[in-house]
Amino acid sequence: MSESSDAYYVAYLREKKARREVEQLLEDSSRQLYEKNKLLEQQITQIKSQQQSMLQQEKLATLGSLAAGVAHEVNNPLAFVMSNVDTLYLYSRNMIDALNRSSISLSEDKEQLLVIQDDLPELVSDINEGLIRIRDITKNLLFFARNDSQHQVEVKLQDAIELNLKLLKPLLKDINVELDFTYNSSVLFTPNELNQLLVNILLNAIQSFIPDSERTAQINVSVSELNNKTVLKVTDTGCGMSDDIKNKVYDPFYTTKPVGTGTGMGMSMVLQVVQKHNCKIYIESAIDVGSTILIEFPPLD
């Protein structure tokens, strides 16, 4: 074999070896990339699961904050329902006794039956009203607590606000709430996430008030239109926030509330939901003046 042939053969072997090394490197890189992608998919799934879990924890924490007030709200109608049922039972016994007596004093029995006749419609009406109140409170709680599908649908913002204000009614007894719904618009949102967003913003406003303060406790809620966008504005006259607190308000687990009154995930969750639905959120606040939270919803079209 000539020297040129030897050189060509050596070059061929060298090229073949280099090609095999490159192919092996490409195969190894592809396998590593596949494994990393698979791990990344698992981590993304785990993060989504954790986010959903944190959302449920925050929801339960919010329900815990509402529990005492809701219990009181249910107990009031329940008390007069039970009282009226006791009265109805007594009336029914009196009527049965009057019918069963062998010697009936018509004048006395007639007078007693007329009293029962006058009272019965009001008693039954009060019972029905009380039961309706209990039903509505329970329905609102179940609607808030449910974990429905993640599909976005058109939701009337005014209806969602009013529903959540009803849910928060027990906590609003000493607070004046002003509503301005001159622009009643629908927004594209996941219903349960919209409820969670609204109740957290409203609850923050409610909890911003200092007990026994001489300042008037007031919350203003308005829905307006700006550049074809729906704008929700919630303003309170509470304690306000310093710049330091305002800069940390979206940090997970950050809270200025006493231990056991929240998870510190409320505003973090609000930001997450806002970003998921392509909205924008702005916060203005000053100590001893109050806070304003403004959310811009994108146009439906």
Mean pLDDT, 10 residues at a time, over the chain (301 residues)?
A: 64 75 79 82 75 63 63 70 76 70 57 70 76 72 61 88 86 89 86 86 88 83 90 92 84 64 70 91 91 92 72
Distances (CA, A) of 16 to 2, 19, 21, 79, 89: 21, 5, 9, 91, 101
- Identify the DSSP state of 201: H
CA dist 75 to 122, 130, 146, 160, 212, Å? 20, 10, 23, 25, 26
What pLDDT score does 202 carry?
A: 92
pLDDT of residue 33: 82
Q: CA end-to-end span of the chain, whole Å?
A: 79
Residue of 103, 267, 238 whose CA lies nearest to 175: 238
Q: What's the confidence (pLDDT) of residue 54?
A: 63
Q: What domains, with CATH codes, occur in the chain? A: 1-147 (1.10.287), 153-297 (3.30.565.10)
The tokens describing 165, both together, are 């204000």
Please report the beta strands in the chain, taking only residues with DSSP state E, as ranges in sequence order: 153-156, 176-180, 186-189, 218-226, 229-236, 280-286, 290-297
Asked if 196 and 167 touch (Cβ cutoff 8 Å), the reply is no
| Residues β-bridged to residue 233 | 222, 294
Question: So what's the pLDDT on residue 234?
Answer: 96
Contacts for 151 with CB less than 8 Å, ≥ 6 apart: 190
Tell me the pTM.
Answer: 0.60
pLDDT number for residue 124 = 76
